[in-house]
Amino acid sequence: MKKKVAVVLFNLGGPDKLSAVKPFLFNLFYDPAIISAPRPLRYLLAKFISTKREKTARERYSHLGGRSPILELTKLQAKQLEKMLEKENDDYRVFVSMRYWRPLAQETLKEVINWAPDESILLPLYPQYSSTTSGSSLYSWKKETEKQSFSIPTKTICCYPESEKFILAHVKGVNKILTQVKIKYNSLSNTILLFSAHGLPEKIIKSGDPYQAQVESTVMAIVEKIEDKTLNHIICYQSKVGPRRWIGPPTEEEIIKASRDKKNIIIVPIAFVSEHSETLVELDIEYKKIAKSYGCLDYYRVPALGTNVDFIEALSDLVKLKNKNKSNILNKKICSKECKKCFYNVREN
């Protein structure tokens, strides 16, 4: 007899209209994983920051038709993953849960409850684990299941920074751009790869968050497999907010350096698997404009993985392996004991 397995994809979410920008930002900054201040102060800070940043954020989303494309793109990923899992013996259904805008965890959980699965598998669309992304989504989901008294066998895929087909998808994307550059210039000697990930405050990393180490392991796995072994590459971080010290180097600074040296720049969004404002506006518009103003030779950006077949196969393989594995632990050895904020080092679900 087939068992019903609910697969829940977690992503950031984004405003679906310009009037949703401010409440979306409030939800983001009210998250204790983002701002760790006690509740009364965190509420005031979230109100202040969301008000202060609303105008700039609205301008960004105006480039995208007044809304974020992330929900639509995540639904496409869910559809492709569900289609791939149709070949399996069990009955899989894939659901989408967003952290800071609709559908939020409580809404998605109701859909899951109505389907009445026998088991569930939680799958964040963040390949590299951080307490601010995957951790926040997973704990939010757990809190909602407790509120709604929903208890079924549940397994969690906390991270997959070196998953074979995930890496393959990136390698193919990078090689495709490298081929274009080589055809145009007959050489890659004047080309640099900038692997750009969303940044985090240094304080979070120093407290035991494994995100930076996992970003580095992803890049290392990709670089080992790209065709040209002589290419220079740099890991950098974007989207800094606020006065605190963040991990670096900043993507913008590396773009300026490479542009001044008259380099061809290839940007690889290494921690984003869906297109959204950080890729479509920050990388494609704002950073490209900076590159050109500082004399960049050519500026290329590798697309986010989206519904790339290799990436969807990577997700499918992770789900199938997790389903067959009696233990909830799939990737425990990835993080060291020093990574105190790793999901499995905090608690085993």
For residue range 176-218, list pLDDT tens digits in order: 999 999 999 999 999 999 999 999 999 999 999 999 999 999 9
* Residue 66 lies in domain: 4-160+310-346
Whether 297 and 321 map to the same domain: the answer is no
Q: What is the pLDDT of residue 243?
A: 83
> 329 and 201, same structural domain?
no
Q: Maximum CA pair distance of the chain?
A: 64
Query: Do 144 and 168 share a domain, yes or no?
Result: no
Q: Tell whether 21 and 145 lie within a shared domain.
A: yes
* 282 and 188 belong to one structural domain: yes
Distance, in Å, from the CA atom of 318 to the CA atom of 159, rounded to the nearest integer, reads: 10
Supply angle C-alpha 17, 134, 275, rounded to 5: 45
Same domain, 43 and 149: yes
Strand, helix or coil at 275? Answer: coil
Q: Concatenate the DSSP letters of all residues of 36-92 into one string.
A: -S-HHHHHHHHHHHHHHHHHHHHHHHHTTTSS-SHHHHHHHHHHHHHHHHTTSSSEE
Other residues' Cβ atoms within 10 Å of the Cβ of residue 89: 8
Kindly state whether residues 85 and 214 are assigned to the same domain: no
- The H-or-E segment that residue 8 falls in is strand 4-11
| Domain co-membership, 238 together with 253 | yes
Same domain as 217, residue 238 = yes
User: Are 112 and 185 in the same domain?
Assistant: no
- 88 & 190 share domain: no
Burial string for 99-125 (b: 16+ CB within 10 Å, else e) reads bbbebbbeebbeebeeeebebbbbbbb
Q: DSSP class of residue 2?
A: P
Q: Which of 283, 301, 319 is the last residue of a domain?
A: 301
Low-confidence ranges of the chain (pLDDT < 50): 332, 346-349
Token code pair at residue 269? 């969004």
Dihedral angle, C-alpha 182, 185, 188, 192, nearest 10 °: -110
Please tell me the predicted confidence (pLDDT) of residue 325.
75
Q: How many domains does the chain have?
A: 2
pLDDT of residue 347: 42
pLDDT for the residue numbered 342: 67
* Domain at 196, CATH number: 3.40.50.1400
pTM recorded for the entire structure? 0.93
- Answer positive or negative: Cα dihedral of 158, 161, 165, 169: positive
Does residue 333 sit in the same domain as residue 269?
no
